[in-house]
Amino acid sequence: MRYLLELSYDGTHYQGWQIQPNGLTVQEVLNNAISVITRQSIETIGCGRTDTGVHARQYFAHFDTEQELPNNFVRSLNGILPYDIAIHDCQLVSSEFNSRFDAISRTYEYQIIFQKDPFLNKYAVRWHCDLNIEAMNQACSAIIGTRDFACFSKVNTDVKHFDCNLMAARWYYRENILIFEVTANRFLRNMVRAMVGTLTQIGEGKINQDKFMEIVESRDRRQAGTSVPAHGLYLVSVEY
């Protein structure tokens, strides 16, 4: 039987979602906790990778087991997991369902603050100058659609192509936090952080929109801006 978990996690203390040889990951902790309850060796398959320090407000993972799960499974699993990983739902799904490949879109948010805040400094990045939101949104509008986003991808990644369908991208304020929200059918490694690092150069007046499009069309990661810190990035929703 195949089950689908909906969860969220604070990525501060993890080397991302996927199991790594050099540090603790969310997947490893989740696999171990489910294995304790089912008394089987369980391997979860996540809806995508998140990098070291990146958070997820909504994340999905599926796993297979030979037994029907008890009604109190979610409560029991939450009791075993550490405080920074929370299970919200568990559903029986088709054996053909795949949490990664059946996703049609994913939405990320990046959070920026402009004033020192002791309650947000681990979950948003402090910016030390004003940003031109209108100019950054104009640049976002120019890249909506399907194109090669190699300029925003980490180099030497194991992908067959760099094409992504960018469905939406915008900057807006939510109270005192500046949010970059972006939706696509798929994301390349480090893509959102590199996009933010480049778009903020427009916001600071360091480059104009023509230069931004030149960077995008170059397909050269060296031309784009520096990747912003991971702790401001959140996976916020996944659509199936």
Q: Which positions are annotated as active-site residues?
A: 51
How far is 34 from 134, CA to CA, in rounded Å? Answer: 47
**Structure-block tokens of residue 49:** 């990778």
151: CB partners within 8 A, 6+ apart: 194, 215, 216, 218, 219, 220, 221, 223, 224
How far is 116 from 157, CA to CA, in rounded Å? Answer: 36
Helices (H) then strands (E): counts for the chain: 5, 10
Beta strands 105-113 and 125-126, pairing class: parallel
Contact between 188 and 154 (Cβ < 8 Å) = yes
Helix axes 73-80, 26-38, angle to 10 degrees: 130
